[in-house]
Chains A and B, each alone.
Chain A
Amino acid sequence: MTVGSGLRHAIAGTKKLPMALSDLANPSRFLAVVEPALPWLAGVTALALALGLNQALFVAPDDYQQGATVKIMFLHVPSAWLSMFCWALMSVAALGTLVWRHPLADVAGKAAAPIGAAFTFICLVSGSLWGRPMWGTYWVWDARLTSVLVLFLMYLGVIALWRTVEDPSRAARAAAILTLVGAINLPIIKFSVDWWNTLHQPASVLRLGGPAIHPTILAPLIVMAIAFALLFVTLHLAAMRNEILRRRVRTLRLMQAQAT
């Protein structure tokens, strides 16, 4: 009995996998559920974003230290959370590909990568634009920023891997391995970057966190985080749908080529 099926039995036995997940394993059924839901999801996302933007730009007060630039935090922090959540999601999908052999796992992983990379990019750029007025520089090699940059590079690497390997199932397995290695490596990277950073004490004391978050700042942050999360879910499901369609096209084209 292989490790994979052993694990599968163990997990099925504990009923950890919700029934809905295995129901949606069939791509056609997935499409049937997701396609009608997408417009509604998009609508809710748009509403949430509008609400969040209103909160962030108009309602939230200025920080006593940072002034209005604290509003950049409402972009920076949610995108940071999403970028890490996305890699976690991809890691679960990778396990799904390698261990549980869920048919849609690799679709989920492939679709998530560009979205995660985009959120990481937003995090980096917003952080950079926040840093300039606050600490006088667009970039500084401190532990947190550097770790996010490395995460961004890993996203780009996974995307490159997905697009370089021709065969979808081979690509899926390769990407799954890389994703899991990345997931294991992220704490190691974080730790070593922290260590490297303490070796080279920066000249000025950087307080990226700023003062403890006041409730009037916290509320818009939570709203924006929820809005970003909804945005992620909508985009991810839509990208998964596209990927399923793309694979159908490929199959049909192969069929057509073999028939002639």
Chain B
Amino acid sequence: MTALSALLLRDLRLAIRVGGGAWMGVLFFLIVVTLVPFAVGPESALLRRIGPAILWLGALLASLLTLDRLFAADQEDGSLDLILMSRAPLELAIVVKALAHWLTSGLPLVVAAPALGIFLDIDSRAMAAVALTLLAGTPALTLFGMIGAALAVTLRRGGLLVPVLILPLTIPVLIFGVAASNAALAGPVPFGTPFTILCALSLASLVIGPVAAAAAFRHAE
């Protein structure tokens, strides 16, 4: 078993364990979606209109939850040093960690989103669109998140620093994710246009995220 696959399996197992990110992320997503009608009122026409936006915001916040401690936990138990010292390229190790994070945090959100769409009275075609955009966009959230997590790793009391660092980077993803969802719902713009841009953003983050995060680690030494 190569070092990278070992790292992947380890991260997957840690996240799935309860108390790990997988379940908490979905639960938080559910709570956020539940909170919005309390704030804006239960009128279903309104909820249906902003439904995709609520789902995207909820997914974004839920992803952030688990990114926070991504590298900090490794640093605390020493495995970060092992990762930094290993022969496998650091960028690849970061991609692997991002993969594990997305599989256990992003993907559950994609699966949960249609179910939560019921609460927001979103019709099934729109729900499919939202799920698809989340599928394309959540990898970008994770990968951009790597940057903030790497920058914040040496700080003991990160607090809200990681979200503050990451959120601006994720704004384009949010814009095009919601735009694509709304385009599928109604709207003159065809679904394809914002959706392909969203996919492009995810692919770009696949390069930018690990490279920037690796640079952050190297400069921290």
Given contacts A153-B30, A160-B23, are A141 and B18 in contact (CB under 8 A)?
no
CB distance B121 to A160 under 8 Å? no
Tell me the minimal C-beta distance from A246 to chain B in angstroms. 14
Q: Identify which of A53-61, A70-78, A196-204 touches chain B.
A: A196-204
B119: chain A residues within 8 A (beta carbon): 139, 141, 149
A139 close to B118 (CB less than 8 A): yes
Query: B34 is contacted by which of A138, A149, A160, A163 (Cβ under 8 Å)?
Result: A149
Chain B residues near A128 (CB, 8 Å)? Answer: 118
Q: How far is the CB of B58 from chain A (nearest CB, A)?
A: 13
Contact among B19, B42, B44, B118 with A163 in the assembled complex (CB-CB below 8 Å): B19
State how many residues of chain B have any CB contact under 8 Å with chain A: 18
User: Knowing A153-B34, A156-B27, A160-B24 touch, does A140 contact B44 (C-beta < 8 A)?
Assistant: yes
| Beta-carbon contacts under 8 Å, A132-187 to B | 137-142, 146, 149-150, 153, 156-157, 160, 163-164
Are A142 and B42 closer than 8 Å at their CB atoms?
yes
Known pairs A128-B118, A137-B121, A141-B37; A160 contacts B27 (CB<8 A): yes
Q: A162: nearest residue on chain B (CB-CB)?
A: B18
| B19-49 vs A, Cβ < 8 Å mask (1 yes, 0 no) | 1000110010011001001100111100100
Chain A interface residue count, CB cutoff 8 Å, equals 22
Q: Across the interface, do A196 and B27 meet the contact criterion of CB distance under 8 Å? A: no
Least distance between B154 CB and chain A CB atoms (Å): 25
Pairwise interchain contact B42-A141, C-beta atoms closer than 8 A = yes
Q: Which residue of B lies closest to A164 (CB)?
A: B19
Closest to A157 in B: B27
- B118 partner, pick from A138, A146, A156, beta carbons under 8 A: A138
Bound-state Cα–Cα, A160 to B119, Å: 23
Which A residues are in CB contact (< 8 Å) with B118?
128, 138-139
Known: A197-B42, A202-B42. A164 touches B30 (CB 8 A): no
What are the residues of chain A within 8 A of B23 when measuring CB–CB?
A: 160
Across-interface contacts of B41 in A (CB, < 8 A): 199-200
Chain B residue numbers with a CB within 8 Å of A157 are 27
Q: How far is the CA of A230 from the CA of B179 in the complex (A)?
A: 51
Which chain B residues lie closer than 8 Å to A146 at the CB level?
Answer: 37, 42
> Which chain A residues border B121 with CB–CB below 8 Å?
137-139
A and B contact pairs by CB, cutoff 8 A, 5 listed: A140-B44, A149-B119, A160-B23, A160-B27, A200-B42
Interfacial residues, chain A to chain B (CB-CB below 8 A): 128, 137-142, 146, 149-150, 153, 156-157, 160, 163-164, 196-197, 199-200, 202-203
The 9 closest A-B pairs by CB, nearest first: A141-B42, A163-B18, A164-B19, A200-B41, A141-B37, A138-B118, A139-B119, A139-B118, A200-B42
Further pairs besides A157-B27, A196-B42, A200-B42: 20, Cβ < 8 Å: A137-B44, A138-B118, A138-B121, A141-B42, A141-B44, A142-B42, A153-B27, A153-B30, A153-B31, A156-B27, A156-B30, A160-B18, A160-B23, A160-B24, A163-B18, A163-B19, A164-B19, A197-B42, A200-B41, A202-B42
